[in-house]
């Protein structure tokens, strides 16, 4: 399974999605294969929308900063 980002493009009267060659190779896809996709429009405030329903004692900025500090060898 591959997580990819792709731009929708107009094809005739339809809109199509291009699957990058790297994903095709990785998942051994070929013409005629059935695939499942999850559609989610990219948004600038995705973190806010994702975590917006949760109430934390600290701000999301503080939590993310802590994660960044802990994930890098210093």
Looking at residue 32, its pLDDT comes to: 93
pLDDT at 74 over 60: no
Helix%, strand%, coil% for the chain, nearest 5: 30, 10, 55
9 touches 15 (CB < 8 A): yes
pLDDT, tens digit, 9 for 90 and up, residues 20-50: 898 899 999 999 999 988 887 776 666 665 5
17 forms beta bridges with 8
Q: What mean pLDDT comes out for the span 50-68?
A: 75
Looking at residue 53, its pLDDT comes to: 61
Encode 6-35 in three state secondary structure.
CCEEEECCEEEECCCHHHHHHCCCCCCCCC
Q: Which of 5, 49, 2 is nearest to 29 (CA)?
A: 2
């Amino acid at each position: 399974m591959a997580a990819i980002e792709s731009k929708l493009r107009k094809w005739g009267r339809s809109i199509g999605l291009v699957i990058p060659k790297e994903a095709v190779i990785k998942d051994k896809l070929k013409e005629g294969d059935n695939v499942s996709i999850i559609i989610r429009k990219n948004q600038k405030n995705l973190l806010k929308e994702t975590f917006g329903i949760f109430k934390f004692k600290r701000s999301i900025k503080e939590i993310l900063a802590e994660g960044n500090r802990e994930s890098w060898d210093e």
